[in-house]
Structure 1
């Protein structure tokens, strides 16, 4: 019997590139038959642990590179026919509430609707989601029992799980978002999705041969 291949998507709602990459994952799942595990991490914690900078900071003051970065993003959006992405005018947004909410939603079996609502209010109908009132109103608008999740997110097991996810990601080689793991192989960035898919296919075939 072949053991299921573990494939992970490490995300923070504050990363527009993670949002864009995630829009492509259902197509990879359909073609390969895998299901991605969605792993919430705190990107600020990853940056701090690795002494990394956000793209906004690292590109500041560099001639031509920010413009090319924007061009590459437009190409990705066009290639994958993503029509409802909008730059968040409040970016960067502190995502601690959002990411604790994601862990709480996983614990409470509410992850899928919470995840979709969070991405909608960050990158489709963008709002200042680090404002507690805006945060609450947005999720209520999406039909989420957000008061339940806000309360759950304050509990120690949720806080510790987010910290553990973040620390584990760094320990395994992560330095930003989106990061993907196919078994033990790590890939960073939305532009590596073709390689992610090829690695899934390769590891699946290898496992079948062994079996």
Structure 2
């Protein structure tokens, strides 16, 4: 793998983060890089920046809402992401989910973080689960073969809470205002529609080193 530093700042509550997650592997293969997944809390980032979700900002702009849905559908069709479904419980509070992602990282078991991320994205944007319901989350973790009790304990640990807050604060200080956000080195890109630009920047950096 190349030494190019590429980061993907994500929150499970973002459908566009899910869509990006599904496309990232093809970029990694083409470019010989590995994206570093960085869990952040989107609600916290919104508070820091004064930003709001597109659902809120476009609530009274019917044409824009329709276009946003059309744009997602085009992306889905382009990349063959037929499993995507809008979560019927949206918006879902992702605080515990994102703490779980940090806990999986800190656990250090090979492949655990990657599997947790992939499963939670799928449960949110393919299965349409209400993952801010503690009983649903516990059942989901157990069904996926995770130690649900261990995760629940870890989600309340100071090191996990602190790391998620630190990731979110660092994202803000680097210029992020939403998810998905990407960094190639210190170059920032926002949104799934910038993945082509992300890949071009990766190629540029590789060519210059």
TM-score by length of 1: 0.95
CA distance, structure 2, for counterparts of residue 185 and residue 144 of structure 1: 36
Give 1:103-182 correspondences, 5 Å limit. Answer: 103-108=102-107, 109=109, 110-182=112-184
CA distance, structure 2, for counterparts of residue 39 and residue 130 of structure 1: 20
Give 1:185-196 correspondences, 5 Å limit. Answer: 185-196=187-198
Q: 1:203 aligns with which of 184, 205, 208?
A: 205
TM-superposed CA distance for 1:63, in Å, is 3.5
CA distance, structure 1, for counterparts of residue 161 and residue 3 of structure 2: 29
CA distance, structure 2, for counterparts of residue 66 and residue 126 of structure 1: 20
1:32 maps to which residue?
Answer: 31
**In the TM superposition, what whole-angstrom CA distance separates every residue of 1:50-77 from its partner, at most 9, and x where no partner exists?**
0001010011101311111110000000
**In the TM superposition, what whole-angstrom CA distance separates every residue of 1:10-64 from its partner, at most 9, and x where no partner exists?**
0000000000011000000000000000000000001000000101001110131
**Matched positions, count:** 205
CA distance, structure 2, for counterparts of residue 181 and residue 85 of structure 1: 25
TM-score by length of 2: 0.96
TM-superposed CA distance for 1:132, in Å, is 0.4
1:53 maps to which residue?
Answer: 52
Contact 1:113-1:144 within 8 A present in 2 as well: no
Runs of 4+ residues over 6 Å off in structure 1: none
2:66 maps to which residue?
Answer: 67
- Structure 2 gaps of 5+ residues are none
- Structure 1 gaps of 5+ residues are none
**What is the root-mean-square deviation in Å for CA atoms of aligned residues?**
1.0
Contact 1:15-1:178 within 8 A present in 2 as well: yes
1:23 match: secondary structure: helix
CA distance, structure 1, for counterparts of residue 167 and residue 157 of structure 2: 16
